[in-house]
């Protein structure tokens, strides 16, 4: 039965417990770094991001590069303020917890040069543009606080310790296993030295968790385009996305009712930091058969991240002290799915437009690779869990005067999951206005996003689902000049 030793055994070797680790390098991270949530200037966001066929908007160069072909003047644009307000609710068993946060980031910056075409030909203009847009914002946070309903993280440890002799095999125990044993989360079965049980299975414990995510995916772009007879517009964009992602997670299981037991609490603090740089190519075309209609299509190659670097740190403290700190760094390659987009825009007497777009990606095509580790299991999970995600965008703008415009838009993003294990769908609504003179413009936008996520504090076989509901309010301001 339970040991009496209370001191940490020196020389405990550390190995990764995949049951409880939030280490990256799995199918969830493949999805996280493959998904796109186009962001950029206030005009782009205010009109529902549906600028693929409208053109002459810097942030649209990430979606349909041919939109650069609509530029007839040079332009410099900068979005110095993207202010995000998060209001998230997490429901765990019968309890709900609210988390709120405010985050700030720079949304986009870029310059486009419009160069005269070839004289005496129908090539009207050539364009060159470069800068960056944020294509995914990772900033978010949520908190979980509730009763365990008989679940315990000890179930994970008991399964992982099965077959290890607590008297002779301490050198084969990981830090997590030893601390679970030393904190009285697990015990041996009566009469056994190698089989274990979670002591608090079926009992009511206090569970809390806080998850804070920060960073973004900012894509540097280099675009080239042309205008043929004001009818055909073509473009290409070389994208260099730069991922900067951090997740801090604190989980605690607490005995707040059974005062006669030696177990008091078990707290696990994790920090995951991911850095990566990739490359992709986007090709697009826009055709204008009539003055009031433009049709566009674009194709995005997969993004190739040659070196995704993960740095992971885990710290554990419990009633009797601290566990050995666990650190791990790993590098791997990630290839994201290809994407395709169709664009349509209707113009009303040069005073307004209504635009619509459809975009799709098959996230089951993401692929992870390393010459140090076989990602066969993770890649099979990617194919089994993820499928097509469909994105519909609609936007409108009306010029009330020669200088003042109003905008509105809506997006729907379908879930990338094949089954009901999770819900990755999103709804997005926006509104905005702008002032434009001959050489100067300023734009303002407000956006609202609602999404859901199922989350498990540890191995989902042993804990009930936490249902997260994310509400994000975002305010953007863009300024720029044309010359």
Beta-bridge partner residues of 479 = 78, 442
Eight-class DSSP state of 394: E
457 band by pLDDT with thresholds 50, 70 and 90: very high
Give the bridge partners for 212, in sequence order: 141, 248
Residues forming beta bridges with residue 250, ordered by sequence position: 210, 269
> H or E stretch including 177?
helix 175-182
The dihedral of CA 427, 432, 437, 441: what is its sign?
Answer: negative
What pLDDT does 327 receive?
A: 87
> Crossing angle for the helix pair 154-161 and 175-182, nearest 10 degrees?
120
| pLDDT of the residue at 398 | 97
Give the integer Cα–Cα distance in Å for 313 and 438: 54
Q: What is the pLDDT of residue 4?
A: 36
Contact assessment for residue 186 and residue 180, using Cβ atoms and an 8 Å cutoff: yes
Nearest to 77 by CA among 442, 446, 452: 442
Query: Is 227's pLDDT higher than 70?
Result: yes
For 179, the enclosing helix (H) or strand (E) is: helix 175-182
For residue 481, is pLDDT > 50?
yes
Residue predicted with more confidence, 219 or 13: 219
- The 8-class DSSP code of residue 19 comes to T
Say if residue 8's pLDDT is above 60.
no
* pLDDT recorded at residue 173: 66
pLDDT digits (tens, 9 = 90+) for 146-202: 999 999 999 999 998 888 887 765 555 666 788 888 888 999 998 888 899 999 999
State the pLDDT at residue 372: 86
What is the per-residue pLDDT for 350? 83
More confident residue, 91 or 424: 91
CB 443 within 8 A of CB 83: no
Residue 465, pLDDT > 50, answer yes
Which residue(s) pair with 370 in the sheet? none
**φ/ψ of residue 328, rounded to 5:** -150, 135
- Interior CA angle at 386 toward 380 and 392, to 5°? 155
What does the pLDDT average to over 289-316? 95
Give bridge partners of residue 253 from the DSSP assignment. Answer: 207, 266
Report in angstroms the alpha-carbon separations of 404 from 32, 211, 349, 430, 434: 38, 42, 16, 17, 6
Residue 412 has pLDDT above 70, yes or no: yes
pLDDT at 243 over 90: yes
Give the DSSP H or E segment for 383: helix 376-385
Question: Distance (Å, rounded) from C-alpha 64 to C-alpha 56?
Answer: 11
- In this prediction, residue 429 carries a pLDDT of 98
Residue 241 has a CB neighbour count (10 Å cut-off) of 25
Pairing between β-strand 426-436 and β-strand 440-455 as defined by DSSP bridges: antiparallel
Mean predicted lDDT score pLDDT of the chain: 90
Asked if the 27-482 domain carries CATH number 2.40.160.60, the reply is: yes
Confidence band, pLDDT 50/70/90 cuts, at residue 448: very high
The mean per-residue pLDDT over the stretch 330-357 comes to 95
Which residue carries 């997969």 as its tokens? 302
Q: What is the pLDDT of residue 170?
A: 55
Rounded to 5 degrees, φ, ψ at 171 are -70, -10
What is the Cα–Cα distance from 159 to 198, expressed in whole angstroms? Answer: 9
Q: How far is CA 46 from CA 27, 282, 357, 476, in A?
A: 33, 24, 15, 9
Q: What is the mean pLDDT of residues 350-375?
A: 94
Average pLDDT over residues 82-87: 96
pLDDT at residue number 387: 93
- The CA angle 416-295-65, to the nearest 5 degrees, is 70
C-alpha span between 19 and 460 (Å, rounded): 9
CA dihedral 10, 320, 160, 421 (to 10 degrees): -140
Cα gap 439→282, rounded to integer Å: 30
DSSP of 106-174: --EEEEEEEEE--TTSSEEEEEEEEEEEEEEE--EEEEEEEE-TT--THHHHHHHHTT--TTT-GGG--
Q: How confident is the model at residue 127 (pLDDT cuts 50, 70, 90)?
A: very high
**Residues forming a β-bridge with 290:** 293
- CA-to-CA separations, 172 to 13, 16, 166, 175, 253, in angstroms, rounded: 6, 12, 10, 10, 25
- Which residues 6+ apart lie within 8 Å of 10 measured at CB? none
Please, are residues 179 and 153 in contact by the beta-carbon 8 Å criterion? no
| Residue 364 φ then ψ, to 5° | -70, -5
Mean pLDDT in residue range 379-398: 95
Q: Could you report the per-residue pLDDT of 264-301, keeping only the tens digit for each?
A: 999 999 999 999 999 999 999 999 999 999 999 999 99
- Average pLDDT (425-435) is 97
What's the mean pLDDT in 345-374? Answer: 94
Domains in the chain: boundaries: 27-482
Considering only the C-alpha atoms of the chain, give the largest distance between any 2 of them, rounded to a whole number of Å. 95
> Tell me, what's the pLDDT at 24?
52
Give the pLDDT confidence of 31-55 residue by residue, as tens digits.
Answer: 999 999 999 999 999 999 999 999 9
């Amino acid at each position: 039965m339970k040991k009496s030793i209370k001191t940490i055994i020196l020389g405990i070797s550390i190995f990764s417990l995949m049951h409880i680790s939030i280490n990256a390098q799995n199918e969830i991270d493949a999805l996280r770094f493959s998904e796109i949530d186009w962001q950029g200037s206030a005009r782009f966001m205010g009109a529902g991001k549906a600028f693929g066929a409208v053109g002459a908007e810097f942030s649209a160069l990430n979606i349909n590069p041919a939109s650069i072909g609509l530029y007839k003047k040079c332009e410099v644009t900068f979005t110095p303020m993207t202010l995000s307000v998060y209001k998230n609710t997490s429901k765990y068993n019968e309890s709900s917890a609210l988390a709120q946060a405010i985050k700030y980031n720079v949304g986009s910056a870029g310059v486009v040069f419009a160069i005269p075409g070839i004289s005496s030909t129908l090539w009207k203009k050539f364009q060159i543009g470069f800068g960056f847009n944020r294509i995914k914002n990772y900033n978010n946070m949520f908190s979980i606080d509730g009763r365990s309903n008989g679940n315990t993280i000890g179930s994970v440890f008991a399964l992982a310790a099965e077959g290890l002799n607590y008297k002779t095999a301490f050198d084969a125990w990981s830090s997590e296993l030893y601390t679970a044993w030393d904190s009285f989360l697990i015990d041996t079965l009566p009469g056994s030295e190698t089989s274990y049980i979670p002591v608090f299975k079926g009992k009511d414990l206090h569970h809390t968790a806080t998850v804070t995510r920060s960073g973004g995916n900012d894509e540097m772009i280099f675009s080239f385009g042309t205008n043929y007879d004001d009818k055909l517009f073509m473009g290409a964009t070389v994208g260099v996305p730069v991922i900067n992602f951090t997740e801090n997670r604190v989980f605690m299981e607490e005995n707040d009712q059974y005062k006669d037991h030696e177990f008091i609490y078990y707290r696990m603090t994790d920090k995951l930091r991911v850095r990566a740089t990739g490359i992709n190519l986007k090709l697009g075309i826009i055709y204008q058969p009539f003055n009031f209609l433009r049709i566009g299509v674009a194709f995005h190659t997969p993004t190739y991240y040659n070196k995704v670097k993960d740095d992971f740190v885990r710290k554990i403290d419990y009633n009797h002290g601290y566990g050995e700190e666990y650190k791990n760094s790993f590098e791997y390659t990630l290839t994201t799915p290809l994407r395709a987009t169709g664009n349509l825009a209707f113009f009303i007497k040069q005073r307004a437009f209504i635009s619509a777009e459809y975009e799709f990606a098959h996230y089951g095509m993401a692929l992870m690779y390393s010459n140090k580790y076989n990602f066969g299991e993770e890649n099979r999970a990617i194919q089994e869990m993820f499928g097509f995600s469909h994105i519909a965008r609609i936007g409108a703008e009306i010029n009330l005067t020669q200088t003042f415009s109003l905008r509105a838009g809506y997006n729907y993003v379908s879930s990338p999951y094949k089954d009901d294990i999770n819900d990755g769908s999103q709804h997005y609504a926006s509104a905005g206005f702008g002032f434009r003179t001959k050489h100067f413009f300023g734009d303002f936008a407000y956006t609202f996003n609602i999404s859901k996520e199922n989350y498990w504090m540890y191995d989902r076989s042993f804990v009930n689902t936490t249902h997260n509901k994310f509400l994000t309010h975002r305010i953007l301001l863009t300024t720029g000049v044309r010359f």
